[in-house]
Amino acid sequence: MDRLFDFTGQVVLVTGGSRGLGYQMVKAFAERGADLIIASRKIDACEAVADEVRALGRRALPVAAHLGKWSDAEALVQCAYDAFGRIDVAINNAGMSPAMPSHEVTEELFDKVVGLNFKGPFRLASLVAKRMADGDGGAIINVSSSGSLMPVPGVVPYGAAKSALNAMSRSLAREYAPKVRVNVLCAGPFLTDIAKAWTAEARETAGNSLRRPGKPEEVVTSALALASKSSSYITGALLQVDGGI
């Protein structure tokens, strides 16, 4: 095991961990020795991923949770600590980005988008950060979007919520320092499930420097780096993983 990416004995929580970028992160940490807590709304999907983690010889805890609800975030944290006694790395990855003209966005949809992309992650990160600060420390990674850094017509509530997530992360990094590191992984276009709704051209090309969308597994090294104890001098940072937008 490369010492820079050795997570043996560590406990990693990944929300939205049953598919897409979250699933790739779960596999990567498990392959490097970590025990996993996999959270998403569908327990069957979480259990299927947990079985893959256990097949690698690691412990796994699947948890059904709506990460836009504070009560679910609180229950998830308590469940994790009841099962493992700690969380070493927490990754706020769950999100949603429905596209439609801004004047057609309903209040209900607006609240759902902001809830899942900002409100819920704030509560989860805050609860975990406090426990980490009272214990042996740890790392939190909040997964944002390139849409938080540039104009995003058609998904304005999403981009705005992710911008808030960026600001929140920097503030939490200062509030719970020095024992807790909080960083942002700012993802660009990736060929996850959402890409099924894209045009064929959009699945092949992108308006970034690499001129293509990312493969889901290409997020792995960034997550490992931000979570690694060897990155002990990195906090409050925003890492763009977007092919050079």
Catalytic, out of 23, 81, 158, 176: 158
| pLDDT of the residue at 173 | 98
Residue 195 has pLDDT above 90, yes or no: no
Residue 38: what pLDDT?
98
Measured distance between the N- and C-terminal CA atoms of the chain, rounded to whole angstroms = 33
b/e map of 48-65 (b: 16 or more CB within 10 Å)?
Answer: ebbebbeeeebebbbbbb
170, 15, 185, 30 alpha-carbon torsion, rounded to 10° = 120
Confidence of residue 2 (pLDDT cuts 50, 70, 90): confident
Q: Is the per-residue pLDDT at 87 higher than 90?
A: yes
What is the arithmetic mean of pLDDT over 142-168?
96
Mean pLDDT of 2-25: 96
Confidence class for position 192, pLDDT limits 50, 70, 90: confident
Mode of pairing for the β-strands spanning 11-15 and 35-40: parallel
Mean pLDDT across the chain = 96
Provide CATH code, domain 3-241: 3.40.50.720
Q: Catalytic site residue 233?
A: no
Tell which wins on pLDDT, 181 or 151. Answer: 181
pLDDT at 197: 77
In the prediction, which pLDDT does 243 show? Answer: 97
Please provide residue 227's backbone torsions phi and psi, each rounded to the nearest 5 degrees.
-85, -25
Question: What pLDDT score was predicted for residue 180?
Answer: 98
For residues 63-79, give the mean pLDDT.
Answer: 97
Is the per-residue pLDDT at 1 higher than 80? Answer: no
Mean pLDDT of 141-159: 95
Map out the domains of the chain as residue ranges.
3-241
Q: If phi over 0 gives left and psi between -120 and 50 gives alpha, with beta otherwise, what is residue 136? A: alpha
Percent of the chain past pLDDT 90, that is, above it, reads 93
